[in-house]
Amino acid sequence: MPGVRLQATEALVRIFSGDIRPKPAIETISPSLDRRDRAFLMEIVYGVLRYRDTLDWILGHFLKKPDSLDTRTVNNLRTAIYQLYFMRVPERAVVNEAVEVEKCFGQKDRSAQPSLVNAVLRNIIRQKDQFALPLKPEKQDSPASEIALNTSHPRWLVRHWIKRFGEDEARLLAAANNMRPPFTLRTNTLRTTRGALLEQCRQEGMPVSPTRYAPEGITVDGQVAYDDLSFARGLFSVQDEASQLIPLLLNPQPGERVLDACAAPGGKTTHIAQMMGDRGEIIAVEKDPKRLAHLRENISTLGLTSVKVINADVTEPGERRTFDQIPFDRILLDAPCSATGVIRRNPDVKYRHKAADLLLFREKQLQLLKTVSRFLKKEGTMVYAVCSTEPEEGEQVIEEFLKTDREFRIIDADAPLLKEFISGGILRTFPHRHNMDGFFGVTLCRRD
């Protein structure tokens, strides 16, 4: 499949340049591919993203100056090494196809180096026993170095986890981030029930089971794609189980006025509408115009009428006047964050942030929280949530907010299903503990 390997390499070039995210990169490439080729493409692209630093460490032992290579050659070598170490592809096929990919680059650019690719890969195969997994750093100055190398996580993040959880659990969390996440649905209870949807899926030959915690969730097992579920269009949304727990913290009621301050892509927005029986008013605010189409599509597909979408930035006073004239009964602030809790779905997250970025996110999140809290009714409730594993974006934001705005306090969620995840009023989920995305959530209200 040289065409697929070539497409995978080109997708990786664009992703690592910051030009595009993995999912749209694959969607752009794969419409003409059959199921088998698309699965092979996804395995290579996501595999390289999960293990980029591990692959580069191996490559660095066979090249004097890997940084001097063209980015296409580097990513061609990464895809080949990934296949050699993590896939059941014959070694000869890996080498031959990588050379052919490099020759394709050579048709447009003289910087392509098929001879080098051939030599490097053959050397790696000959010495593979010396670089067997798990790898051992030559200068292992701490447990973080070995975990970071073998799981391709930044050392600063692994150090954070070791300090919080200990070495063993940090290793488990990093390993969980490199596992394929479950394919989870949320039943559209306005049109069907979870039991009915489970039965419908089974009749179509889909291997499905109810989620353990989320009351409307369904886990789809096996190699099933979104398009395979076209028979149930409008009866579900794709949403991780942890994400489905956040609206339970909010506990919206029919007839209320609710603000979703950072709404796209709309998983929690539409869930809130379902919990309200699509009766009431939900203001879904999203400042990024590029994400509005997806938000509107999700609302339309589920047949919801109670949601009003507004393209605005809640921190801009001039724009707030379009929706904040009447206080809200409930507010959800699912704030932009580092996304360290969804690394297994978006492995490129590992390479996009530095430790200092967490503090920048914290300042923006705190500002958002201070702003939207002004829109809440005196007796209303507000949920702050992030898909981050890091306390800088969770506990520390809330701690600082409560210091500067003593009008608010944390309240316990009135949801027995959430007791396993809540301590001191704070909800936490983790991939390695719950096989869910990593989320933080807390419910706030004004003091009596």
- Residue 434 is given by DSSP the state H
Is residue 158 within 8 Å of residue 144, measured between CB atoms?
yes
Tokens, residue 152: 């391709």
What's the CA gap between 389 and 386, in Å, rounded? 8
Tell which residue, 154, 162, 72, has the closest CA to residue 110: 72
Measure the N-to-C terminal CA separation of the chain; round to a whole number of Å: 66
Question: For residue 116, with 0-12 CB atoms within 10 Å meaning exposed, 13-18 middle and 19 or more buried, which class applies?
Answer: middle
* Amino acid at position 245, single letter: L
Contacts (Cβ under 8 Å, ≥6 apart) of 245: 213, 214, 417, 418, 421, 427, 429, 439, 441
Rg (CA), the chain: 24
193: which 2 tokens?
């029930």
Distances (CA, A) of 96 to 115, 172, 235: 11, 36, 46
Q: Pick the catalytic residue: 262, 337, 387, 445?
A: 387
Name the residue with tokens 């919801």: 304
For residue 414, give the 3-state DSSP assignment. coil
Residue 387 falls in the annotated catalytic set: yes
List residues with catalytic annotation: 387
